[in-house]
Amino acid sequence: MAWSSRSRSSWLVAVAGALASLAGCSTTDSTTDTPAVYGPPSLALTRVGGLEASGLSTVVDAPLDDACGLSVVVVATNFALRPPVACFGYPQCGQLWVDAGSEATRVVSAGSAVSLPLGAPGTYTVTASLHLDGALDVALDAAGKQLTATVQVVTRPACGGFADAGGDVEAEASLDAGDGG
């Protein structure tokens, strides 16, 4: 039986697609759409308050949003972030927990970006950690160390209804100068 160039092309495309799916570091289970992740997991804080945080121990002058929330972005490598009970028993799959030193500020997320509800400007220790699906304990890396990342954050002195005292003084000075008196 002779193959037409069209059927030969279709066959080559199918084979190339199958080989490409085998070459990656992760695959997807077609019944659950949950990735099977391979390799040692890691976690890094990359941005805090919109500022670069990679490799830093302290971030100064981090801006807060209007609700006094602090944006935090992490990179979780070889760890699938999914909503609770959506990992279907896969290893290296779970949720991101981020807090600023108290349960009141804790956010649990299936994404890599969160907004921490700080409530007021100040100095905070922000900790991000990876947790296996539904687990209270922190997930471990290949060396048996907890998958956590921490950074000290000093926020800008203004958010929402909180005003920077320096800004108020400058505003009052400009008003005084403008009244001629």
DSSP classification of residue 105: G
pLDDT at 118: 93
Tokens coding 105: 């500020």
Percent of the chain with pLDDT over 90: 51
Q: In 3D, which of 114, 108, 120 has the Cα closest to residue 161?
A: 120
Could you tell me the CA-to-CA distances from 137 to 15, 34, 79, 97, 133 in Å, in that order? 43, 22, 15, 11, 10
Q: Is the pLDDT of residue 52 over 50?
A: yes
User: How far is Cα 118 from Cα 17, in angstroms, rounded to an integer?
Assistant: 48
* pLDDT, tens only, 126-172: 999 999 998 888 999 989 999 999 999 999 887 765 554 433 333 33
User: Are the C-beta atoms of 127 and 135 separated by less than 8 Å?
Assistant: no
pLDDT at 10: 45
Tokens coding 43: 């976690």
Distance of CA 92 to the CA centre of its chain: 16
Q: Which amino acid is at 127?
A: T
For the domain made up of 26-156, give the CATH fold: Immunoglobulin-like (2.60.40)
pTM, entire model: 0.69
Largest pairwise CA distance in the chain: 102
